[in-house]
Structure 1
Amino acid sequence: MADYYSQTVVQPDIPVDAITPLELALLTGIYEHELGDASIYFFASEGPSGIVWLDITELRAMLADEIIAPGSIAGMARDKLDAAGPEEVEIEIDLSDLGDATIFQAIVRRCDQLDHVTITSGWTCSKMRPDGFGGGVTVVTADHILSSSTSEMEYRLLDRCEYGELGCAPGHGSHVLLRLDEADVRQEIITMAEVGSPAGADPSAVTGEDIRMACLKAVEATDLAVQHEAIAAIAARAAIAIAGQRSA
């Protein structure tokens, strides 16, 4: 039987005073850690944990001082607490959806000493299994959580082998055409306020949480199937034209 490992380090060290009690309880459940003079180094010698158990009484005290935004880790913990039975003394927090990167992003947004956090993992196996080795990196900023892996590096290299410099385009044949960025939404709010439309628009009253909720609703309500089909047809015609020019 093979053992799989995901050895992970978090850089840079996180200032202690930037971490809330709930975040500290979760991060120390996910990772091993070393406490410095004013910061904490998080790492995992075998792999981060996706499940953290918290004492209900302690969790209730932690949430008393938390700002609970929609879709946040604190919101998930509060929902778990509300659903707990009277006989339960611990709560299981499953971080498979909202994980460590989400926690670090909240810290980056509050902490002037951090502009990003990098989570680097090396995947190894106790036997030489072909699927047991590789690695990944996640970069967390105030506005983005972006990840890549050695598999994606392999795809990019295969693209370059097949297409040359055309292979430098990301996606290994899958092209991102449109991305809704919350920073762009914020700028659009500022522009609307400058021209007075809608009436009474006040950018300072709109929080990051407001924008996050609005983006999620906009994505959920938007169906780009027709546009996708039309763009695919444009690309198909362009490919035929390129082939025709080459053979002419």
Structure 2
Amino acid sequence: MAMTELEYVILARMFDAEPVGEDVYFSASDGVSDFVLLDVAEVKRMIAAEESIASSVTDVVREALEKLDPEAAEFEVDMSMLSFEGIFEDVVKRSALDYIEIETAWSCSTMRPDGFGGAATLISKSGMVSMSTASFLEEAIAALSLGPPPG
């Protein structure tokens, strides 16, 4: 697997994780969870086993462990500062993967002009590029010299 055990555990708590052959499909029907509850002993074991692997998520978790009450058995980590994209970026940089694709969709239960859309993100060794569906439409309209829609 291209990701560390700790990265997988955290991503599987941020998302719903479904194994697909040798790959993993991550999805979130109600949004990605930024707060992850972890077992202290389990995390310490994973960090020790993965000591030689560079990982931003390990750095975030180590920092959270340092601030923890020594008697705590579990702790919560706020992943919003790193984000899941940062975890995937680390995975691509140190693996044989050329890239990871992320597709996002959002909708609203009522018809609102700003309640629908999506985005795509491509993470490769050379960087990350993301574009919302609204940005794509703006760029396409400009590229085709179409001007604003009729009012």
**Which interval holds the TM-score relative to the shorter structure?**
0.7 to 0.9
Indicate which of 120, 138, 161 corresponds to 2:121: 138
Counterpart-to-counterpart distance in 1, 2:42 and 2:23: 23
Relative to the length of structure 2, the TM-score reads 0.83
What residue number does 1:118 align with?
A: 101
Q: Which of 138, 141, 148 pairs up with 1:155?
A: 138
Unpaired stretches in structure 1, ≥5 consecutive residues: 1-16, 168-248
Question: Is the aligned partner of 1:104 residue 2:88?
Answer: yes
Q: Which residue of the partner structure matches residue 34 of structure 1?
A: 18
Indicate the percent of aligned positions where both proteins have the same amino acid. Answer: 37
Structure richer in helix, relative to its length: 1
Once residues 68 and 85 of structure 1 are traced to their aligned partners in structure 2, the CA distance between those partners, rounded to angstroms, is 26
> Structure 2: how far apart are the matches of 1:40 and 1:150?
25
Q: Kindly tell me: are residues 35 and 131 of structure 1, through their superposed partners in 2, closer, same or farther at Cα, counting changes over 3 Å?
A: same
Question: How many residue pairs are counted as aligned between the two chains?
Answer: 146
Q: 1:68, 1:75 within 8 Å by CA — same for their partners in 2? A: no
Larger Rg computed on CA atoms: 1
More strand by share: 2
For 1:19 and 1:49, locate their aligned partners in 2 and report how far apart those are by CA, in whole Å: 19
RMSD: 2.3
CA distance in 1, matches of 2:73, 2:122: 36
Q: Matched residues in 2 for 1:155 and 1:121: separation?
A: 18
Q: Which residue of the partner structure matches residue 84 of structure 1?
A: 68
Q: What one-letter code is carried by the residue in structure 2 that aligns with 1:123? A: W
Q: Output the CA distance in 1 between the equivalents of 2:98 and 2:114.
A: 34
TM-score, scaled to structure 1: 0.53
- Distance of 1:96 and 1:61 partners within structure 2: 24
1:109-141 Cα shifts (integer Å, max 9, x gaps): 2322x2000110111111112321110111101
Work out which of the residue numbers 28, 31, 38 in structure 2 matches 1:44: 28
The runs of 4+ residues in structure 1 deviating greater than 3 Å are 157-161
Q: Indicate the structure whose relative CO is greater, using CA pairs within 8 Å and at least 6 residues apart.
A: 2
Conserved in 2, the CA contact under 8 Å of 1:124 and 1:133?
yes
